[in-house]
Structure 1
Amino acid sequence: MSTDSSTLPVAPPAVPAPADVIDLTDKRARRPLSICLLGYRSAPYGGGQGIYLKYLSKALVDAGHQVDVISGQPYPHLDPRVRLIKMPGMNLFETGLASLRPHHLRSWTNVIEWTGKLTGAFSEPYCFGRRVVKYLKQHGRHYDIIHDNQSLSYGMLKLQKLGFPLVTTIHHPITSDLKIALKAANSFVDRILIRRWHSFLFMQREVARQLHNVVTVSQRSRQDIAAAFAIQPAAIQLVHCGIDTEEFRPMPEVDKVPRRLMATVSADQPLKGVSFLLEALASLLPRYPDLELLMVGKPKPGGDTEQLIARLGVGDHIRCVSGISTEQLIRHYNEAEVVVVPSVYEGFGLPAGEAMSCGAAVVSTDGGALPEVVGDAAIQVPVKDSTALAEAIAQLLDDPQRRQELGRAGRRRIEELFCWHRAAEQMTDYYWQVMERENG
């Protein structure tokens, strides 16, 4: 077996907390940076982390930097100017436990990953960290910055100890996901399995407390990360996510589909609040019998969402799509009369920002950081309130002028506050701050 294990280093000394606002006024000596972004699982349609890697790497290349992305499976979709370095693991969520082969046993990391899945744990972040340490020790000394996208693995502490300039993005603490999943669990056995799968949180807490340079994507996430991981809020840098406003755009040539609602959701994650949207849909159908919900994301066969659809009798009014291209997604945003974001919690809320950038009228909950993103350019309702959700949707279905006003206001808000070029500039300033501090 290979000996590519990483060890948990002693906690480093405290470092000065970064300022809320990055202001490095002397930029005359700035040069393009060599940046390495890390993502243990970066599916472009499986969640915000893959989207974050795709657009941040593109914006950094647009700013003149050289960017590599090291990712485990499923791999991200990247701008052709960004080099993808594949760091394959066993990908057991797609291949299954029976995919173990004799050659896998030559790597202790593979054995850990397979055993973790066998016992119901989620070992991918830990194993990705081990593989990355081994690779970067041999091939990574030329990078100016290593930027980890929330693997929060012990390997990141190893890189920090080895002298690599490391920045870590934490989108939101997974402790929020755990609490919501436990509340939604149907049985004691389900709760045991959920706790087992989230056992990686112990590693994340230990790692987060010892990282020198942490960045997050919203004020709400900064507060929640500080509380969950016992970090001072002032030690967490804020750089908002962006939206590619050139790509996510209004399409005047596309006609609205009458009575079309749209939601971009991970259908079986309680965090995303799909059950409340389905209940709202059921309550609206007597009034709007031609109502249609387009869900970007498919429920698991036989899962909780599929069962709820059957109980409510709304299956004929739901169309599910997945694995679509970005251009198809943009067209769907433009076709919808109302885009709904029913999430119980969001660390940022990319679907809301994308819809607003496309000029869509949005109904959003006030979960997590969503109020920061939508502001007064959407109708906001309390989380877990299907009645309020239905009332807000009905308001917009009955008022075309209000839909148009919100669509225009949403587009303006995203252009002014959440552009990826602005995010890349702020992130670059933070990279320089980190480099200057660590280089003395």
Structure 2
Amino acid sequence: MTAEARPLRIALLSYKGNPFCGGQGVYVRHLSRELARLGHSVEVIGAQPYPVLDDGVVLTELPSLDLYRQPDPFRTPRPGEYRDWIDALEVATMWTGGFPEPLTFSLRARRHLAARSGEFDVIHDNQTLGYGQLGFGAPVVTTIHHPITVDRQLELDAAQGWRRRASVRRWYGFTRMQKRVARRLPSVLTVSGTSRQEIIDHLDVAGDRIHVVHIGADTDLFSPDPAVAEVPGRIVTTSSADVPLKGLIHLIEALAKLRTEQPDAHLVVVGKRADDGPVAAAIERYGLAGAVDFVKGISDAELVGLVRSAQVACVPSLYEGFSLPAAEAMATATPLVATTGGAIPEVAGPDGETCLAVPPGDAGALAGALGRLLADSALRRRLGLAGRERVLARFTWRQAAIGTAEHYRAAIAAQGGHPAAAVRTAAPIAG
């Protein structure tokens, strides 16, 4: 068997793997499954919340102290829970207002991998970017979905008062480490052309070391079902209420405007309800308590059923490095209204052809686009069908796995593990 063809032994690292909250867990689950289907041996090494994986993928638990678990986030561990100096560092960082997990996971991973030297052909890190990553030894490929410095800036812009701004700066202190580590990594994957440019601009990573491999939707699961009836006026979105980057506050404001003309319009948010904060205040201010529902912890099948039942899916984010919710909604042939924030246009496609596009942060434009779709069944059907065709052609997990494996082989070859010919298979996937 040639070097280019033989199956690879892959360690896929994930410091935060919840597949029901955030794109990193979704990425680990679906990429690992498709890599295994291609014949590779994949072992996911992760911390809490542990990823949910499919058959054919091994999970190795590398536990943290799980300081942010529900229902007791920011907890103080009992004395008997401390195992070593890394645990002490984790707690000390939390006590001083920082977020320790990228650093402490990377240190635990380095120790774990050192004890298993030679077992893996390549180590794939999923956006940890911790100092421990610089000592892994084996060929390393890392995925940066988008620089967390973008989240940091948006949180600072939304912060009220100097105390809140100081707290945000301290919490995001780990981004300085991530920038230093990213600049020293030989092979960086990202999920969109927009994210690639953000990594160059924010993290100072050389452009020739960054490769775009689009991720995608599970197009077998997220698929149309004509038997599912649309619920009149239903809009669905995936968002965390307390994350300014997701733009939910603007969608709430848009819904208030929309209901003056289309009173059956209502919103289902896949995500956690915030008991206070700007979103909760806006729902109360506009009298929308009966028109906005939050659902969380639902199964994949329940999520698909919810998206299919909506007349419109909406991505109101101010910025996205890719936007899995957009791809998944389009895969079900649910028509999409989306902002032009970050990489969303790269996924959703041209305005009026595969979606309706609006500027980020513009509640009036959101209300207009949502109202237009809710009122026009022919437009909904046309955009829905075109959206699914776009996803099938460009954004599937099998395509993502093939492109990622090509870059694994290039990284191995660059470190002398394979003949140089392997590099020729690893041209960047165009963004």
Q: TM-score, normalised by structure 2?
A: 0.93
**SS of residue in 2 equivalent to 1:139:** coil
Summarize the Cα distance change of 1:389–1:85 in structure 2 as closer, same or farther, 3 Å threshold.
same
| Aligned partners of 2:68 and 2:75 also within 8 Å | no
1:122-161 correspondence runs (5 A): 122-159=99-136
Q: Which amino acid aligns with 2:34?
A: A
The corresponding residue for 1:70 is 45
Deviation at 1:100, TM superposition (A): 1.2
Q: Compare 179-188 and 193-202 and name the one that shifted more.
A: 179-188
The corresponding residue for 2:424 is none
Q: Which amino acid aligns with 1:102?
A: P
**Alignment counterpart, residue 31 of structure 2, candidates 52, 56, 61:** 56
**SS of residue in 2 equivalent to 1:70:** strand
Deviation at 1:418, TM superposition (A): 0.7
2: CA distance, partners of 1:221 / 1:416 = 21
Any unmatched runs of 5+ in structure 1? Answer: 1-25
Deviation at 1:295, TM superposition (A): 0.4
**2:367 is equivalent to residue 390 of structure 1:** yes
**2:424 is equivalent to residue 428 of structure 1:** no
Q: Compare 272-281 and 229-238 and name the one that shifted more.
A: 229-238
1:31-110 correspondence runs (5 A): 31-94=6-69, 95-110=72-87
**Alignment counterpart, residue 288 of structure 1, candidates 248, 262, 272:** 262
Deviation at 1:28, TM superposition (A): 7.5
Q: Which amino acid aligns with 1:398?
A: A
Any unmatched runs of 5+ in structure 2? Answer: 418-431
2: CA distance, partners of 1:373 / 1:393 = 19
2: CA distance, partners of 1:222 / 1:347 = 9
Instruction: State the identity as a percent.
Output: 43
Q: Which amino acid aligns with 1:185?
A: A
Cα RMSD of the aligned pairs, angstroms, is 1.4
| Aligned partners of 1:97 and 1:114 also within 8 Å | no
2: CA distance, partners of 1:105 / 1:262 = 43
| Aligned partners of 1:367 and 1:382 also within 8 Å | yes
| Aligned partners of 2:355 and 2:387 also within 8 Å | yes
1: CA distance, partners of 2:348 / 2:175 = 30
1:186-201 correspondence runs (5 A): 186-201=160-175
1: CA distance, partners of 2:184 / 2:171 = 23
Q: Which amino acid aligns with 1:331?
A: G
1: CA distance, partners of 2:292 / 2:158 = 23
Deviation at 1:220, TM superposition (A): 0.3
The corresponding residue for 1:419 is 396
The corresponding residue for 2:143 is 169
Deviation at 1:235, TM superposition (A): 1.8
Q: Which amino acid aligns with 1:77?
A: V
Q: Compare 76-85 and 362-371 and name the one that shifted more.
A: 76-85
1: CA distance, partners of 2:26 / 2:349 = 22
1: CA distance, partners of 2:220 / 2:376 = 28
Q: TM-score, normalised by structure 1?
A: 0.91
**2:190 is equivalent to residue 216 of structure 1:** yes
Q: Which amino acid aligns with 1:52?
A: Y
**Alignment counterpart, residue 305 of structure 2, candidates 327, 331, 337:** 331
The corresponding residue for 1:246 is 220
**2:251 is equivalent to residue 274 of structure 1:** no
2: CA distance, partners of 1:225 / 1:264 = 25
Per-residue deviation, residues 107-156 of structure 1 (Å, max 9, x unmatched): 11111111111111100110001111111111252111100000000011
2: CA distance, partners of 1:232 / 1:190 = 34
How many residues are treated as equivalent by the alignment? 412
**SS of residue in 2 equivalent to 1:261:** strand
1:110-121 correspondence runs (5 A): 110-121=87-98
**SS of residue in 2 equivalent to 1:237:** strand
Deviation at 1:437, TM superposition (A): 1.4
2: CA distance, partners of 1:385 / 1:218 = 24
Deviation at 1:180, TM superposition (A): 0.8
| Aligned partners of 1:250 and 1:334 also within 8 Å | yes
**Alignment counterpart, residue 184 of structure 1, candidates 140, 147, 158:** 158
The corresponding residue for 2:428 is none
Deviation at 1:102, TM superposition (A): 1.7
Deviation at 1:29, TM superposition (A): 4.9
| Aligned partners of 2:4 and 2:409 also within 8 Å | no
The corresponding residue for 2:334 is 360
Q: Which runs of 4+ in 1 moved over 3 A?
A: 26-29, 95-99
Summarize the Cα distance change of 1:319–1:107 in structure 2 as closer, same or farther, 3 Å threshold.
same
2: CA distance, partners of 1:214 / 1:27 = 25
Deviation at 1:263, TM superposition (A): 0.4
Summarize the Cα distance change of 1:271–1:119 in structure 2 as closer, same or farther, 3 Å threshold.
same
